[in-house]
Amino acid sequence: MKVVKIKFKGRELNFTATSAMPLGRSTGEDLSDRSALTEETPGPGASEERLSSRPGPRNPCLVPTYERVLGEIPLSLKRGTFISVDREPALKISAIGFQPAKSIPELARWFLQKYCDKSALILDPFCGSGTTLVETLRYGASIRWLDYNPLSRLICAVKTQNVDFHRLVEETNRILLLSERQKAAQQTISFANKDFWFQKPVQEALEILREHISNAEPRVRNVLWLCLASTVRKMSDMNDGMLLAAKRSHIEEIPRRSRTDVFNAFGSYVQKATRAIREWQELCGDRFHLAKELAITDANGLHTQCDDLKFDAVVTSPPYINAIDYVWASKFELHWLGLVKDDADRLALYSKEIGTERIAKEEVRELGRTGHLLLDGLLEEIYTGKRYQATTSQNRLRSRVTYKYFADMKRHFETCFRSINPGGYYCFTIGDRSKICGVDVPVAGLLAEFAEEAGFRKIFEFHVLLRNRKLNVPRNVAWAGTIKHDTTVVLRKPSPN
Tens digits of pLDDT across the chain (497 residues): 343 333 334 444 333 333 333 333 333 333 233 233 222 333 333 333 333 344 544 554 567 888 999 999 999 999 999 999 999 999 999 999 888 778 899 999 999 999 999 999 999 999 999 999 999 999 999 999 999 999 999 999 999 999 999 999 999 999 999 999 999 999 999 999 999 999 999 999 999 999 999 999 999 999 999 999 999 999 999 877 666 666 665 556 789 999 999 999 999 999 999 999 999 999 999 999 999 999 888 787 777 666 678 999 999 999 888 767 889 999 999 999 999 999 999 999 998 989 888 888 999 999 999 999 999 999 999 999 998 888 889 999 999 999 999 999 999 999 999 999 999 999 999 999 999 999 999 999 999 999 999 999 999 999 999 876 554 444 454 555 677 889 999 999 999 87
Phi, psi angle pair for 388, to nearest 5°: -150, 120
Identify the pLDDT of residue 50: 32
- Cα atoms in the Cβ-side hemisphere of radius 13 Å centred on 170: 9
Q: How many Cβ atoms from other residues are within 10 Å of residue 233's Cβ?
A: 19
H/E element holding 488?
strand 485-492
Burial of 297 per CB tally in 10 Å (0-12, 13-18, 19+): middle
The residues pairing with 5 across neighbouring beta strands, listed in sequence order, are 14
Selection from 355, 313, 350, 329 nearest residue 447 by Cα: 355
Q: At what angle do helices 150-158 and 218-235 cross, to 10 degrees?
A: 130
Q: What is the rounded CA–CA span in Å between residue 451 and residue 38?
A: 25
Identify the pLDDT of residue 49: 35
The residues pairing with 464 across neighbouring beta strands, listed in sequence order, are 83, 486
Q: What is the rounded CA–CA span in Å between residue 220 and residue 143?
A: 23
Helices (H), 236-368: 259-284, 326-329, 331-336, 343-348, 361-364
Phi, psi angle pair for 281, to nearest 5°: -65, -35
Q: At what angle do helices 165-181 and 259-284 cross, to 10 degrees?
A: 180
C-alpha 293: how far from its chain's center?
A: 18
For residue 447, CA distances in Å to 55, 320, 407, 453 come to 9, 12, 10, 10
Identify the pLDDT of residue 254: 84
pTM over 0.75: yes
Q: At what angle do helices 259-284 and 131-139 cross, to 10 degrees?
A: 30
Q: What is the rounded CA–CA span in Å between residue 378 and residue 286?
A: 50
Identify the pLDDT of residue 41: 31
Burial 60-86 (b: 16+ CB within 10 A, else e): eeeebbbbbbeebbbeebbebbbbbbe
Identify the pLDDT of residue 46: 32
Identify the pLDDT of residue 2: 40
- Cα atoms in the Cβ-side hemisphere of radius 13 Å centred on 216: 28
Identify the pLDDT of residue 439: 94
Return contacts of 182-188, CB within 8 angstroms, 24+ apart.
Answer: 182/208, 186/211, 188/338
CA angle 172, 175, 179 (to 5 degrees): 140
H/E element holding 121?
strand 121-124
